[in-house]
Amino acid sequence: MIAFAIDGKPLPVWGGIEIQTGQIITFGPGQRLHARTDGPSHWGAIQMAEQQLIDYNRILNRTRFVLPPAARWRPARAAVRQLRDLHRAAIRMAEARARALTDLQAAHGLEQQLLDVLVECQAKGAEEETAAGHRHRDILARFEDLLVAEPPLPLVNICAALGVSGRSPRECCKEHLGMGPSRYRYLCAMQQVHRALRNGTPDTTSISEIARRHGFHSLGRLAANYRNSYCELPSITLRRASNPGVL
């Protein structure tokens, strides 16, 4: 995946790596990451086959190219400007495809131009992710898996399962998510409750059971917090699941 800021601020943070205007970031296959911004943000991303990018780099630059697991690149301004222009053109073509058959030759030509400019953006070398940065991404990915598998698990048990001290999750969450692990765990649990209610049916789904399953023991407090997050009570979400016309 290749990601880059389009315009404005705040700038996004991918995998704990803050990107400045005019920079791009790449993540290789199999890499897991969290992306965040501290407010409204406009950014773009391109996904492509790793081997295709490697082959083009080798052909155009006549050098052996290895794509790092995670890296930040500082290309020339003209290359970044062209990348943004081609990215916008690709979006327009994709939107038009819903209304009419896209010219395959034009689409292929646009793809070739994108590949060329991506190779140019990577010509100056990369600032690769540090070993500590990679370790933090791994800890956070496993933390995420535990939140899904066992939502009510206490933080001390999570640390034991991850094989890390209590300080590590706090550092990772602050760096990658901009908040502490307890706050993130709460937000994830609330989102899981919301999804469960949306997928439930009033006749067979128990709000109290869903709440307990995700670590909420006070229905009154859950209802108040849920309303603050989703502007409606849990019962309304559940009722709308079987009747989308309910307001």
Which pLDDT tens digit goes with each residue over 2-54?
999 887 778 889 998 888 888 999 999 999 999 998 888 888 899 989 998 88
The stretch 79-107 carries a mean pLDDT of: 79
Question: Alpha carbon 131 to chain centroid distance?
Answer: 21
Q: What is the pTM of this model?
A: 0.79
The fold of 131-242 is Arc Repressor Mutant, subunit A (1.10.10)
Question: In this structure, how many other beta carbons lie within 10 angstroms of the beta carbon of residue 190?
Answer: 19
Exposure letters 73-97 (e unless 16+ CB within 10 A, then b):
bebeeebbebbbebbeebeeeeeee
Per-domain boundaries in the chain: 2-128, 131-242
Whether residue 247 is predicted with pLDDT greater than 60 in this model: the reply is no
